[in-house]
Amino acid sequence: MDEDNLNEIKLTYIIITIVMTFFIGFIIFVVLMYNRKQLLYLKEKQLKEAEHQNQLLQKELEKQKSIEHERERISHDMHDDLGAGISALKLQAEFLKQKAEDGELKNDIDELLKTSEEMNLSMREMLWSLHPGNDTLGSFVDYSSIYAQSFLKKTKIKLSIETENVIPETIISTEQRRNLFLCLKEALNNAYKHSQADQLKLSFIQENENFIMNISDNGIGIHQDKPAGNGLRNMKKRMHEQNGQCEIATESGTHLLFRINL
């Protein structure tokens, strides 16, 4: 093979190599541009999705604020209107009692005063339940403790209260707070009426996202051969509706444990 043919082959090889390199480079460029466009498209899609989620969250926050304002307004109206009405009714009943001479009439007025006091307590509970500022564990523990002390102070039952790892600022929903409180009321009422106990322990425990309310007395317990009353059924139902638990033990008294996930 002469030198001219050899040079021609070399030149052809170089040209083919250059063309192949250019072609491969072009393919790489096209692939990179495609990937870049895909990446930009995905980022744009994610941004739009994030913006949409942001708008939904903003609407939900505005809705929540509106609900909280409405709850606050209702609680203020109840306090101003119903509270004033109950107070006026109580004053009038006391005034009539002072003027009354008939013993039977005085007894009727005493019943009226008792009813007005019960209405006043019920209204306070509703106001506490409605106010959004009370949706914390600290508020629930404080209010429940005060209620238990007030309920049992005129009975023979000695009350002890303890808290364990409770973070006061932890949020608890209105429904959870109200249902737990109603369970507490029912448990205290049962202990007073049926337990024959002289000691009752009320415990509030927080375990990460779980909150536990434990009510234990040293009374006669619950007879296993007797069907569960409406009170126990209602407590279990309330906890079930909150995706919580209600556990009952009757060894050395009655022990009620209420557990919810915050």
Q: Which residue would you say has higher pLDDT here, 122 or 240? A: 240
Is residue 175 within 8 A of residue 138, CB to CB? The reply is no
Mean pLDDT of 95-119: 76
- The answer, yes or no, to whether residue 77 has pLDDT greater than 80, is no
Which among 98, 114, 133 is the end of a domain?
133
Q: Which of 129, 130, 121, 125 is nearest to 90 (CA)?
A: 121
Pair 160, 227 in one domain: yes
| CATH assignment of the domain containing 227 | 3.30.565.10
Mean pLDDT of 244-260: 91
Pair 145, 258 in one domain: yes
Which among 112, 133, 154 is the end of a domain?
133
Pair 91, 145 in one domain: no
Pair 98, 55 in one domain: yes
Residues 6 or more apart in contact with residue 116 via CB below 8 angstroms: 86, 89, 90, 93
Is residue 252 within 8 A of residue 214, CB to CB? The reply is no
Pair 89, 213 in one domain: no
Pair 9, 128 in one domain: yes
Looking at residue 80, its pLDDT comes to: 60
Categorize the per-residue pLDDT at 225 as very low, low, confident or very high, splitting at 50, 70 and 90: low
- Count of domains for the chain: 2
Pair 14, 115 in one domain: yes
**Could you tell me the maximum CA-CA distance found in the chain, to the nearest angstrom?**
146
pTM of this prediction exceeds 0.85: no
Pair 173, 70 in one domain: no
Pair 237, 162 in one domain: yes
- The answer, yes or no, to whether residue 90 has pLDDT greater than 90, is no
Looking at residue 120, its pLDDT comes to: 73
- The answer, yes or no, to whether residue 84 has pLDDT greater than 90, is no
CA 121 to chain centre: 23
Mean pLDDT of 166-187: 92
Pair 116, 174 in one domain: no
Which among 118, 133, 148 is the end of a domain?
133
Looking at residue 49, its pLDDT comes to: 87
Phi, psi (rounded to 5 degrees) for 54: -60, -45
Pair 79, 167 in one domain: no
- Amino acid symbol at 255: H
Tokens of 121: 């307590």
Q: Which residue would you say has higher pLDDT here, 254 or 3? A: 254
Pair 9, 127 in one domain: yes
Owning domain of residue 125: 1-133
Looking at residue 4, its pLDDT comes to: 67
Q: What are the pLDDT digits (tens) for 13-59?
A: 888 888 888 888 888 888 888 888 888 888 888 888 888 888 888 88
Mean pLDDT of 76-85: 63
